[in-house]
Structure formats: structure tokens, C-alpha cells
């Protein structure tokens, strides 16, 4: 008999919860999400289940942001973390030539999406080029962009320096090397 009483109590509790769930303050015919329901007021029949809508497709991933900032060499480009950006004079337009040990010292500015310009950086001069390993490097006025591994944010230590077989220069918002 105790098992029957427990089952009857559970059934009564479930019925009470069902009735309590229908007693919200929503206007008749609308669910909590504002979508119409098909349950008729006063019936104990719940509305039919709805299939959730898939989340909206994400747009293109935002890419690396290139900003401008003041330095002892005038206004120049920085990445979104404040790292100074350099060009390598021995490279042809859109054709990186800094790999292996060079790239360890001069990490390329990479992106997963379309690069973004901020400040005086010109979005029309931003572009990308594919590196040998398949990664995508940001370019500015055709120059593949690099940072220097031994600099912190806001530091500009390697302008007008000859390393790795060529000259390294900060890059101006106009797309050329900074003053020498």
C-alpha cells in the first residue's frame, strides 16, 4: 500500500506542476518567447514542441587590427596590441621573404580574417598574402608586415636596421618607410 500511495502522490504533484506552469501572466496565445502557441485556453494539452531555430551564421571573422601611433620616427603603424610594425626592404610586393630564423626574430603579422584599419591607417592599403606554410600575412601598400620579437608594446627599437640580409623600417600610414 505505501508504494501505491507514493505513486499517487507523485502523480498529484506532476499534475499540480503542469497546472502551475500554465498559470503565467502572458496573454493568451503567446509563449514566453513571444511566438504564438496552439494550445487552446482551458485545455490541459501542452502546445506542440517547436524546433529551435539554428543560430545565425557568423559573418566573416574580424581580422588583425592595424592602428597608428606616435613614435620618435613620427606617426607609424602598430598592431592592435601596440607592437611596432616593420617592412623588410628586400621583399617584392605581396611576396614574403622572411622565413625560418628571420621569421623567429621578425614574426609576420598574421590574420584569420579581413584586416581592419583604425586611426590614420588606410583600409584601402591593407591586404593579405599567403605564406609558404599556408598562414595569411597582413600587407600594407603591398609590404608584408612584421613585428620584432624582442620589443614590447610601444617600443620601437629596430627602425633603419640592417638584419637578415636587408633593411627594416617602420611603416608610415602612407605605406612607405619611416624617415631615416
Residues of the chain above pLDDT 70, percent: 66
The backbone torsions φ and ψ at residue 18, rounded to the nearest 5 degrees and listed phi first, read -65, -45
Domain membership flag for residue 1 = no
Whether the predicted pLDDT of 59 surpasses 70: no
Domain membership flag for residue 16 = no
| Domain count across the chain | 1
**Strand-pair category, 62-71 with 114-117:** parallel
* Residue 119 falls in which region: left (phi positive, over 0), alpha (psi -120 to 50) or beta: left
Domain membership flag for residue 121 = yes
Whether the predicted pLDDT of 92 surpasses 50: yes
Q: Which value, to the nearest 10 degrees, does the dihedral of the CA atoms of residues 45, 48, 52, 53 take? A: -130
Domain membership flag for residue 31 = no
pLDDT at 86: 99
Residues of the chain above pLDDT 90, percent: 66
**Residues forming beta bridges with residue 19, ordered by sequence position:** none
Looking at every residue in the chain, the average pLDDT score rounds to 79
Domain range enclosing 130: 66-170
Whether the predicted pLDDT of 19 surpasses 90: no
Question: How far apart are the C-alpha atoms of 27 and 7, rounded to whole Å?
Answer: 34
**Strand-pair category, 166-170 with 143-144:** unpaired
Whether the predicted pLDDT of 74 surpasses 50: yes
> Averaged over 136-164, what is the pLDDT?
98
Domain membership flag for residue 108 = yes
Residues 6+ apart with CB under 8 A from 123: 116, 117
Domain membership flag for residue 43 = no
Whether the predicted pLDDT of 122 surpasses 70: yes
pLDDT at 62: 77
Name the more confident of 60 and 79.
79
Under 8 Å between Cβ of 21 and 39: no
Domain membership flag for residue 140 = yes
> Averaged over 15-38, what is the pLDDT?
37
Domain membership flag for residue 4 = no
Going by pLDDT thresholds of 50, 70 and 90, the confidence category of residue 177 is: very high
Whether the predicted pLDDT of 130 surpasses 60: yes
The backbone torsions φ and ψ at residue 64, rounded to the nearest 5 degrees and listed phi first, read -60, 135
pLDDT at 37: 37
Question: How far apart are the C-alpha atoms of 22 and 63, rounded to whole Å?
Answer: 48
| Lowest-pLDDT range of 13-22, 49-58, 81-90, 168-177 | 13-22
Whether the predicted pLDDT of 23 surpasses 80: no
Amino acid at each position: 500500500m505505501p508504494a501505491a500511495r507514493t505513486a499517487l502522490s507523485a502523480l498529484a504533484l506532476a499534475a499540480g506542476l503542469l497546472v502551475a506552469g500554465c498559470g503565467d501572466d502572458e496573454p493568451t496565445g503567446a509563449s514566453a518567447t513571444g511566438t504564438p502557441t496552439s494550445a487552446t485556453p482551458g485545455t490541459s494539452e501542452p502546445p506542440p514542441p517547436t524546433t529551435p531555430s539554428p543560430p545565425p551564421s557568423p559573418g566573416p571573422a574580424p581580422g588583425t587590427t592595424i592602428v597608428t601611433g606616435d613614435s620618435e620616427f613620427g606617426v607609424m603603424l602598430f598592431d592592435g596590441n601596440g607592437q611596432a610594425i616593420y617592412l623588410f626592404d628586400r621583399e617584392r610586393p605581396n611576396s614574403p621573404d622572411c622565413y625560418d630564423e628571420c621569421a623567429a626574430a621578425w614574426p609576420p603579422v598574421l590574420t584569420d580574417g579581413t584586416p581592419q584599419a583604425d586611426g590614420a591607417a588606410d583600409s584601402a592599403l591593407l591586404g593579405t598574402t599567403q605564406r609558404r606554410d599556408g598562414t595569411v600575412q597582413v600587407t600594407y601598400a603591398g609590404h608584408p608586415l612584421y613585428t620584432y620579437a624582442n620589443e614590447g608594446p610601444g617600443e620601437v627599437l629596430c627602425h633603419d636596421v640592417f638584419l637578415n640580409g636587408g633593411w627594416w623600417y617602420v611603416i608610415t600610414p602612407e605605406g612607405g618607410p619611416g624617415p631615416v
